Amino acid sequence: MKIALAQINYHIGNFENNEKKVIEAIHKAKNSGADIIVFAELAISGYPPRDFLEFDDFINKCDDSVNRIAKECFGIAAIIGAPTKNPQVKGKNLFNSACFLAEGKVIFKHHKSLLPNYDIFDEYRYFEPNTVFNTIDFKGKRLAITICEDIWNIGDDLLYVGNPMDELYKQNPDLIINIAASPFHYEQAERRRIKLKQNVNKYKLPLFYVNHVGAQTELLFDGGSMVLNSQGQIVDELNYFKEDLRVYDLEDIERPSEISKTKKPSKIALIHDALVMGVKNYFNKLGFSQAILGLSGGIDSALTMVLAAEALGPDNVKGVLLPSQYSSDHSVKDARNLAENLGSPYETISIENAYNSFSQTLNPIFKDLPFDIAEENIQARIRGVYLMALSNKFGYILLNTSNKSEAAVGYGTLYGDMNGGLSVLGDVYKTEVFELAKYINRKKEIIPNNTIIKPPSAELRHDQKDSDSLPEYEILDEILFQYIEQRKGPKELINMGFDENVVKRILKLVNTNEYKRYQTPPILRVSPKAFGMGRRMPIVGRYLA
């Protein structure tokens, strides 16, 4: 038996586009001699469709699309993910299903049993869990079809009581097929490999795994679909961050000569590729082509501009220099040098006159109070107004340049530098920003070296440095990582050797600035615990505040 894996970049709710790609893949696989082609979880709708699933019209369109695709399945079968209706009165109205298509029709549906309801996932909000387990026979082979989470309840840390594959294994299958929607973070690919190997080692069956690729707003899918033989060896992995289609002979995958020896990319390389794909897909799927951002001469805006230029092309990314009386000459020079290195257009608009006008208007009301954060935020908001004006006038999407360290402690101005249609670096700590900059410059200097080595500064007052308000980023980021990603409390952090006063101050900053993060643009997710849909905290909570 020959099995094709189709790794496709779907577009949520774009049935015509998704259907076209699926049918093209079916024909290509058939021409390559495949007996069956496998697509990803909820491929028909795109993942995650969220509350679109509450619309009857949306579900009917899914049904119609599945039936049209089935009519293309003569001489080849297909497995494809789709939401399907639950005919029972009791329970949720929908199943998350894998539809088996052959002879021009839907001949079998397998429903997902384990519905994740943690971090970014909320599948139990929409779907009824499956309780009936059946394999399907095809061309002399018995297939155990599973859907993403259904093979993850294995190992030492079990989240669910049951294991669907245990039930399917009782029917003596010949292979496991898993269709998935497994979002990217920089540890996820290795976690998937481990889980898949654990399944093969337990059941002694070959496993064919298909994942999504592409970005759906903040969720990024890295692909990495793979085939494992019955010995637990990874025979092949499909491309990361790209569409792919490959055909495998079930007998050939057991031969040692076919074993994949793909070199695993570094964490920073993965983050880089994920962010470029995220920006590109966000623009393409919304129908936009041009970006704009404030170019300060600092490392965050420089990195954002480079990533956007890679995603959209240098001509489609415009940098705007917005110097004030507090901007250093070298920052302005660094910003210009970056734009020229990229070949991207840029403008310079001084905010000094606008700031002076605001100051004159507010001086009688501010009375004799000293210069403080109010005046600093006025500068940031003037810049935000100018950038949004250009966005409105010319149809650019404004890119937010704040990093995760800043977002965590509220080191940013609402309606100022926190503006934007997309946050590119909002899940990247400042120390990782520096690593990414060095990665980009690995072959030649694109980001000016001075931008990388100078002390970070918001330049909202004379001689300002980030370290005036925050611990050094090496310390800050480690505390933030242990608190946000690892969920370590203050006592645990202090026991790890961090200064007690610094720990209490930083955790208070994180929790009291939740209101700011509720108002930020979508953040491209690259870590195991990103701000946004995957981290839900109360604004008015008093814990550690």
Catalytic residue numbers read 41, 112, 148
Alpha-carbon span 459 to 445, nearest angstrom: 24
Q: Are 161 and 193 in contact (CB under 8 A)?
A: no
| CA-CA-CA-CA torsion sign (452, 455, 457, 462) | negative
> What 8-state DSSP symbol labels residue 223?
B
Give CA separation, 265 vs 21, 272, 273, 540, in Å.
28, 11, 10, 41
Give CA separation, 220 vs 143, 246, 274, 277, 429, in Å.
29, 22, 7, 8, 18
CB atoms within 10 A of CB 282: 24
Whether the bond between 48 and the residue before it is cis, its omega within 30 degrees of 0, is yes
CB atoms within 10 A of CB 55: 12
For 131-145, the three-class secondary structure string (H helix, E strand, C coil) is CCCCCEEECCEEEEE
CA 218 to chain centroid: 5
Place of tokens 């076209």: 20
